[in-house]
Amino acid sequence: MIKNIKTPPLANQGSALLQNCIETLSWKEVREVIHRINPHLATEFDKVLGIEQLPVLKLRYPFGATITKKGKFHLPVNGQSLPWDSPDIPEKIRNLLDYPWDTIPFGLVWTNAFESFIELPSHTVPLRLLTQGNMFSLLSIFERNNRAIISGLQSATAGARSLFVLPQIGDTQYNRRLVRWFRIPEDKANPEGYHDHWTLLNAIANSPRFRHPWHCELLLFTRPFIDRIEQYYRLKAFLLQNIWNTTSFTRSESKYDMLWSAFIYRNLKASLRTSPLILETAKHILKLVIRRAPGFAPSRNDNAGPIAEFMNTFSNIYKIRYHLPIIMQAYNYDGVNPLYYSLNNCTLLQALPQKKTHGQIIRELEDIREIIFFFIEEMNRNNLAADLSQTTLFENLNGVRIDFFHPQGEGNIRSDIETIPAEDDRFVEPIRGSMRKSHLVFPLTAPFFKGCIRIQPLD
């Protein structure tokens, strides 16, 4: 069967490794777009005299390209993503970015998105997806020579590093179709679990035979802009206020950690204190509720990668037999749409445990549920070490419903997985550019749902 697959001609658009990926523009040339994607920033910059001809750099990265790697900035040069200390970085670019910054120069996302993450030996932990108009690295230009900053942990790639295909795609025979069609190495086409899916998706997206090349564009502010920030008090105050607003939880995180520790040893019964992983997972779910850590949800557009074409690839080339090739990505809870987490796709900052039986997973779900619900109960009774009634945590926890799923669950652990797509049509509604086949159905048996936690607004 496989030998009869015809390989397609090379795409006319060329390889995803673009040759002209750095462009020098003026504020006058980018002003209109920035007013649309970040109007507050554009309005403040417009107040700066003589800003029209100040240079900015627009960088273009193909899907999966390295933007930072363990704290080191990479630029797209001659079809490669080169580290900042490479001798092949043009001197003109070095001069324009010659000001104090940490990890990456100050800028904003111009097109699509990129994701920061931490890579552990066992898995990858998504941190934040930055989308069009989001600023980044603003703090570092104000914290010059700050030795307290640890910059060698995080990395970032163009598009979402957290992408995975919801149904299982580990069939060797089917993956050989991808190997032949896209001419990718076989060792990249045998994902064992969700954490391996990105490697396959990245290989597909950067094949010359991939029909819809995708890219993320960043706009970097140059040294003349940074000099003007120092000269204009109101602009500097605006940027500092932005930093203050976005770091509010970080400044209080140690207090929340102490409160959680006090809850464990003062309120929680001893039988629920035995597993650090269960305690950490319960705490992590609370962070999802207050939007301080990402969970997962179905991708609904191409902002985080060529999602529609990935779905078409698994329908038409991989030829998935039964299930919709739903692409999932990391999201922060928005207070409107459901958010999902799975014990089979952990994003904790610690090593993953060995594979567990269904019975073990169900017991863990029961313990996590009991811990979370008891914390909410104690919080509402003001029985914790501090009064939380005026906090975001109190408001958000009392404004959500948290459900626990496993196909073999009973009682408080729901087994009705089929209700998930019935109550959240993002799983089954086609996205623009994808070609849905009528015989494919929602993947009820996906590993993600064998230990799934859902957060959604109260009815």
In this prediction, residue 10 has a pLDDT band, given cuts at 50, 70 and 90, of: very low
Mutual orientation of helices 27-37 and 39-46 as an angle, nearest 10°? 140
Check residue 149 and give its pLDDT. 65
Q: In the predicted model, what is the mean pLDDT of residues 407-432?
A: 95
Helices (H), 60-171: 91-96
User: Does residue 81 surpass a pLDDT of 90?
Assistant: yes
Are the C-beta atoms of residues 184 and 59 closer than 8 Å to each other? no
29, 78, 396 from 288: Cα distances, Å: 39, 40, 10
- Tell me the average pLDDT across 309-325: 95
Q: Name the nearest CA neighbour of 109 among 218, 221, 239.
A: 218
Tell whether the model's pLDDT for residue 329 goes beyond 60.
Answer: yes
138: pLDDT strictly greater than 80: yes
Least confident of 10-24, 154-168, 264-278, 348-362: 10-24
436-447 confidence digits (pLDDT tens): 788 899 999 999
| Residue of 171 and 401 predicted with greater confidence | 401
The alpha carbon of 327 is separated from its chain's Cα centroid by a whole number of angstroms, namely: 13
- At 327, list the tokens: 């692409």
Predicted confidence (pLDDT) at residue 312 exceeds the cutoff of 90? yes
* pLDDT of 52 higher than 90: yes
Q: What distance in Å separates the CA atoms of residue 284 and residue 258, rounded to the nearest whole number?
A: 15
Alpha carbon distance 188, 198 (integer Å): 9
Read off φ and ψ for residue 158, nearest 5 degrees.
-65, 130
* pLDDT the model gives residue 426: 96
Judged against a pLDDT cut of 70, whether residue 144 lies above it is answered with no
Query: Taking a C-beta distance cutoff of 8 angstroms, is the pair 252, 136 a contact?
Result: no
Identify the band that residue 139 occupies on the pLDDT scale cut at 50, 70 and 90: confident
Burial of 133 (0-12, 13-18, 19+ CB in 10 A): middle
pLDDT at 246: 86
Give the whole-number percent of the chain exceeding pLDDT 90: 76
Q: How far is CA 279 from CA 76, 264, 375, 405, in A?
A: 42, 8, 12, 18
pLDDT band at residue 428, thresholds of 50, 70 and 90? very high
pLDDT value of position 433 = 78
For residue 78, pLDDT beyond 90: no
Average pLDDT over residues 211-238: 93
Average model confidence (pLDDT) for the chain?
91
pLDDT at 13: 34
Predicted confidence at residue 153, as pLDDT, reads: 86
pLDDT at position 148 is 59
Q: Which residues of 141-175 are buried (b: 16+ CB within 10 A; e: fewer)?
A: beeeeeeeeeeeebbbbbbbbbbbbbbbbeeeebb
For the segment 190-196, the average pLDDT, to the nearest whole number, is 90
Q: What is the pLDDT of residue 383?
A: 97
Residue position matching structure tokens 């496993």: 406
Question: Which pLDDT belongs to residue 350?
Answer: 80
Q: How far is CA 78 from the centre of its chain?
A: 27
Does pLDDT of 8 surpass 60?
no
Q: How many Cβ atoms from other residues are within 10 Å of residue 251's Cβ?
A: 9
Per-residue confidence (pLDDT) for residue 431, from 0 to 100? 87
- Per-residue pLDDT at 192 exceeds 90: no
Alpha-carbon gap, residue 162 to 12, rounded angstroms: 29
pLDDT band at 16 (very low <50, low <70, confident <90, very high): very low
Q: Is 0.75 surpassed by the pTM of this model?
A: yes
CB 48 within 8 A of CB 42: no
Neighbours of 386 (CB within 10 A): 13
Confidence class for position 9, pLDDT limits 50, 70, 90: very low
Structure confidence by residue, pLDDT tens digits, 272-298: 998 999 999 999 999 999 999 999 999
Rounded to whole angstroms, the Cα distance separating 80 from 102 reads 22
In the predicted structure, residue 49 carries a pLDDT above the cut 60: yes
- Return the exposure string of 106-129: e unless at least 16 CB atoms fall within 10 Å of the residue's CB, then b: bbbbbbbbbbbbeeeeebbbbbbb
Question: What's the rounded mean pLDDT across residues 262-271?
Answer: 93
Q: Does the pLDDT at position 207 exceed 70?
A: yes
DSSP per position, 341-352: EETTS---SSPP
Phi, psi (rounded to 5 degrees) for 304: -95, 5
How much is the pLDDT for 354?
73
Q: Residue 284 has what pLDDT? A: 96
In the chain the domains, ranked by start, together with CATH numbers, are 2-159+214-235 (2.60.120.10), 248-457 (no CATH)
pLDDT for res 11: 38
